Structure 1
Amino acid sequence: MSDTPLDSFSQLQLAEPLSRAVADMGYTAMTPIQAQAIPVVLQGRDVMGAAQTGTGKTAAFSLPLLQRMLKHENASTSPARHPVRALVLLPTRELADQVAQAVKSYAKHTNLRSAVVFGGMDMKPQTLELKKGVEILVATPGRLLDHIEAKNAVLNQVEYVVLDEADRMLDIGFLPDLQRILSYLPKQRTTLLFSATFSPEIKRLASSYLQDPVTIEVARSNATASTVEQHFYSVNADDKRRALHQVLKSRGMKQAFVFVNSKLGCARLARSLEKEGLKTTALHGDKSQDERLKALESFKKGEVDLLVCTDVAARGLDIKDVPAVFNFDVPFNAEDYVHRIGRTGRAGASGLAVSFVAGSDARLVADIEKLIKTKIELEAMEFEEDIPKIREQGRINDGRRAWGGDDPRDVLDTPRPAPRPQRHSAPRDPFFDQPYQAPAATEAPTWEASAKHATVRGISANIKPKRKVAALFKAVAPAVTA
């Protein structure tokens, strides 16, 4: 291999079937990650490759692996002649399906067989395909373990392992499954890790799987693509839908990804936007695989304007000419921000990334700022319908109250009419309007004048006399004795 830097596929001296497949796909110039990684993989070296998402990592590992496996190519119908020799592991179903389609396209002029297995679908068709024998197996970890336990997949002849989106694979939830899968593989193998982001912790984990790897970083780690115009708008949580409508209208956008943080929020937002007149479909983990694939296909065909999705769509999905990405919710993980906005501005095209920032998102924005090493300026969002309309608001520019039309009284020097006297619903009692008059000194108090005087001397007239009750028996005078 010459030391001259490579910039086109014609310089790689690939086998004729692979060169023809590359030409069929219209590829001529290589991306930086392809130019640096392909020669190293062709030498059989382990690789840790970091590149911005959307820069062609799939071809960077697929083409050299197919080139090296051509020595095993055969037209036999026996499954034993087609053992699994290359294993490609990916974190999401959509990404697995996309990579499998790319591998099949590159290998279409060869006798090398490929297959893809992922969850959410019936295992029987996958089992039948595996039983026929395949050289390249693309899989998600969970479903691959299902096939291993069912003895549908035998991995003892694997020569190449690829971990695509490696940070995700080794980060949340996939590490135990990965360790189990790698225990079934031969120890002598070539391991390739490709991802857009590598934290120091992930690098330490990855180094345990690689032997003397060549590290390739074609761009600043965790950088966002320069072709993507980024905006962060400070928006109240209740106004995010209005903000989305306004940006779509002002920019004349036809299609966009809209990312949210939860499956429930994804479904609700998609329904709301559909009711508001936008052709919308949802993509999240609770949907069946058939529904997810149909949603992607309708978006690719332009039948749907907005693809509202969770981070299952943030990694690696390659849909051309998507002009914008909206972060309806700021992602919890700063690395996911890089992946989300990588869905636009792909292959050198320009793109727009808009994030709506609520008051509670300050810490998340600070994490993104730290990761991408760029100062983030929050922009105020002014809604068109909130622009003051003078006559409707009842005020004019000099601060005076408008009286509805050209009223001559609407002048500062003109006195206002005197306030009208208040009206009372009931007439006032004249007694309360009379002046106070002190009672005469000789006049007895009313309560004394009306009191009945007691007949018994020495008892106050204010004490009520005992009530007289008729006697039941007539009193008899005592007899007088002589």
Structure 2
Amino acid sequence: MSFLEKMDDNIKNKWKFERETPIQSQMIPELLNGRDVVAESPTGTGKTLAYVLPILQQVDGKKMQTQALIMAPSQELAMQIVNVIREWVEGTDITVTQLIGGANMQRQIERLKKKPTIVVGTPGRLVELVKAKRLKMHDIRYIVLDEGDQLLSRDYRVIVKDLIEAANPERQVAVVSATITDEIELVAKNLMNDPIRLHVSVEDMPLSGKVVHSFVKTDARDKTDLLRGLSHLPSIRALAFMNNVDQLRMKDMKLQYNEAPVAVLYSSMSKFERQETLENFRKGEIRILIATDLAARGLDIQGLTHVIHVDVPHTIEQYLHRSGRTGRAGEDGEVLTLLSYPEERTYRKLSKGFKPVQKVWYKGKLMEGNSKTVGGQKDVKKTKKK
């Protein structure tokens, strides 16, 4: 493991993995050599350590100066990154603090007075702290955009650009994500200095588990009942995705009324509510956690048996982002789509490369086959009303 030889003893001693992942072996040497990087690698392939370890190697914890900034689009992802860093800096002089919306700003200002070596934050809160002259961007030499496709989307682009341009002119910038479009790559390049483009696909991952892609045909109005049924299967631990926040809240009310082990995560929930929901899910008290893409951004939940598309996603990027959360670290997984008749055409386009298996919900079980082969039920597909 060539890059480890260049690392200090603290990192060498804490490295307990049998081998590095492809994105780590590609990205770490480039960052240590001072290159700007645009890196694309599937969810769960070790991207966080691929940028964290070079930062830890290059910053100086003895300096009373904030030297590195990691940006993330969601509070949960920011908190996860901070937890990873805390693990690796234990016993060193390097310090880290999180600067996220929804948390007490005054407390964050107090922490900034102590000049943490690394800060991890969400764009809105970072801008507030820069405007209040509490976060000194000029000292920052290392910048990472995690989930860079979202941070460089039109929603955040101007904010992120301003933050990068306010940093030290000698800065190094890394953009990482599971999917990077040509547009995002172009935007990234305009903010960077001759970046190297790295790309790892699912096929490059030596530890990828077997992931089955499947679908169940159902009426849109029956999806809640089907979710409730699935939530009572002891073998299931699923992250389920919907496209629409309002529908999400309706599902929440219906499922709560029927006392299913299901919970809903949406971005307007308080920080405490979100943390409690995630904790209950991790403990197994909740079997299915339903969320939108925004609410689930960056959530790293170990041991998911299923990803469920309650709504068919709009794009292949969405489908891959969602689906990549199961079948991680050598575990098998299943990507199940609840497919209503109007969604069939979109689903056919999205699943071209996956050869999905048709399944049917029959007598409280999810079984392979269609309604004609299992139980002789009528096909649930309806003809369109005129």
Using the size of structure 1 for normalisation, the TM-score is: 0.70
Task: Return the offset for 1:182.
Answer: 1.9
Percent identity over the alignment? 31
Residues 97, 119 of structure 2: 8 Å contact kept: yes
Residues 22 and 106, structure 1, Cα contact 8 Å, conserved in 2: no
Instruction: Identify if the C-alpha distance between structure 1 residues 158 and 238 changes in structure 2 by more than 3 Å, giving closer, same or farther.
Output: same
**Aligned pair 1:374/2:357, yes or no?**
no
CA contact (8 A) 1:334 1:364 kept: no
Q: 1:160 to 1:237 in 2, by over 3 A?
A: same
- Alignment counterpart, residue 326 of structure 2, candidates 339, 344, 368: 344
CA deviation digits over 1:390-433, x for unaligned, max 9? xxxxxxxxxxxxxxxxxxxxxxxxxxxxxxxxxxxxxxxxxxxx
1:228 counterpart (188, 194, 211) = 211
* Maintained 8 Å contact 2:22/2:204: no
Give yes or no for the alignment of 1:296 onto 2:286. no
Q: Aligned ranges for residues 23-42 of structure 1 at < 5 Å?
A: 23=16, 27-42=17-32
Give the 3-state SS of the residue equivalent to 1:355 in structure 2: strand
User: Is the CA contact 1:198–1:221 (under 8 Å) kept in the aligned structure 2?
Assistant: no
Change in CA separation of 1:39 and 1:275 when aligned onto 2, cut-off 3 Å: same
1:140 alignment partner AA: T
Q: Does 1:68 align with 2:68?
A: no
Flag the structure with larger Rg: 1
Q: Deviations over 1:68-127 (max 9, x none)?
A: 11xx231xxxxxx42221111111111111111111111112101111111122211111
Matched letter for residue 36 of structure 2: D
Contact 1:85–1:136 (Cα < 8 Å) also in 2: yes
CA separation of 1:242 and 1:381: change in aligned 2, threshold 3 A: farther
> 1:255–1:378: structure 2 CA closer, same or farther, 3 Å change rule?
closer
CA distance in 1, matches of 2:204, 2:230: 27
Aligned position for 1:399? none
Structure with bigger RCO (C-alpha 8 Å, 6+ apart):
2
Report what 1:396 is aligned to. Answer: none
Instruction: Say which structure is richer in strand.
Output: 2
**Structure 2 residue aligned with 1:181:** 163
| Residue 17 in structure 1 maps to residue 10 in structure 2 | yes
Instruction: Give the aligned length.
Output: 366
Q: Is the 8 A contact 2:209 2:330 kept in 1?
A: no
Match of 2:255? 273
Letter in 2 for 1:16: D
Instruction: Look up the match of 1:213.
Output: 195
1:309 — aligned with what?
291
Give yes or no for the alignment of 1:242 onto 2:225: yes
1:332 counterpart (286, 309, 314): 314
CA distance in 2, matches of 1:378, 1:187: 53
Instruction: Report the CA distance shift for 1:122/1:73 in structure 2 as closer, same or farther (over 3 A).
Output: closer
Which residue number in structure 1 is paired with residue 141 of structure 2?
159
Aligned with 1:169 (options 126, 138, 151): 151
Q: CA deviation at 1:376?
A: 5.2
| TM-score, normalization by structure 2 | 0.87
The separation in 1 between residues aligned to 2:325 and 2:97, in whole angstroms, is 25
Among 48, 57, 68, the alignment partner of 1:58 is 48
1:113 maps to which of 81, 91, 95: 95
Among 250, 264, 277, which residue is 1:282 paired with? 264
The answer (yes or no) to whether the contact 1:281–1:307 under 8 Å persists in 2 is yes
| Coordinate RMSD, CA, aligned | 2.5
Change (3 A) 1:222 1:383: farther
Q: Given that residues 231 and 260 in structure 2 are in contact (C-alpha distance below 8 angstroms), is that contact kept between their aligned partners in structure 1? A: no
